[in-house]
């Protein structure tokens, strides 16, 4: 049973949890979670990003991101490179991370198409655009 909630934030989180579960299921055969796939994609697009860059780009809290990065480093999906400042780390994909991201890409694309089928392509893109705009405004 899904309950309509009067709070904008709670409603967005409710939808995010439901979608995250769908994407996580789609990515499971690639041995990735949606969060991991997203981070691998961000690092593919912006290699050697600092932790702070990823926090800002993905609107994640630093504790959650740091924990996820450590797990991904342990699984040899990403590698840490020291920055100019010893306290600063830069992250990059490993060969295993790039390989797993490639395997996940097809499954992620299928999940995207599923959402478009549920909503219609224009509505799905419009919703994504509206949510991105809201995120940008809230983060400003």
Identify the structural domains of the chain with CATH numbers, from first to last. Answer: 15-139 (1.10.10.10)
What confidence score (pLDDT) does residue 104 get? 98
Q: From the CB of residue 101, how many other CB atoms can be counted at a distance below 10 Å?
A: 21
Residue 80, classed as helix, strand or coil, is strand
CA of 88: how far to CAs of 7, 25, 83, 112, in Å?
38, 34, 5, 35
Residue 86's pLDDT band, with cuts at 50, 70 and 90, is confident
What confidence score (pLDDT) does residue 87 get? 78
Q: From the CB of residue 26, how many other CB atoms can be counted at a distance below 10 Å?
A: 21
Residue 82's pLDDT band, with cuts at 50, 70 and 90, is confident
pLDDT, greater one: 89 or 28 = 28
- Mean pLDDT within 12-21: 96
Query: Distance between CA atoms of 129 and 15, rounded to whole angstroms?
Result: 15
Q: Enter the pTM of the model.
A: 0.91
């Amino acid at each position: 049973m899904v309950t309509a909630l009067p709070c904008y934030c709670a409603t967005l989180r409710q939808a995010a949890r439901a979608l995250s579960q769908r994407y996580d299921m789609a990515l499971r055969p690639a041995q990735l979670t949606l969060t991991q796939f997203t981070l691998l994609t961000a690092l593919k697009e912006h290699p050697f990003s600092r932790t702070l860059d990823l926090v800002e780009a993905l609107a994640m809290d630093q504790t959650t991101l740091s924990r996820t990065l450590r797990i991904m480093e342990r699984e040899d999906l990403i590698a840490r490179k020291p920055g100019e400042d010893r306290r600063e780390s830069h992250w990059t994909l490993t060969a295993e991370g790039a390989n797993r991201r490639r395997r996940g890409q097809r499954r992620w694309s299928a999940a995207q198409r599923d959402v478009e089928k549920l909503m219609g392509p224009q509505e799905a893109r419009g919703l994504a655009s509206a949510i991105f705009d809201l995120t940008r405004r809230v983060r400003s």
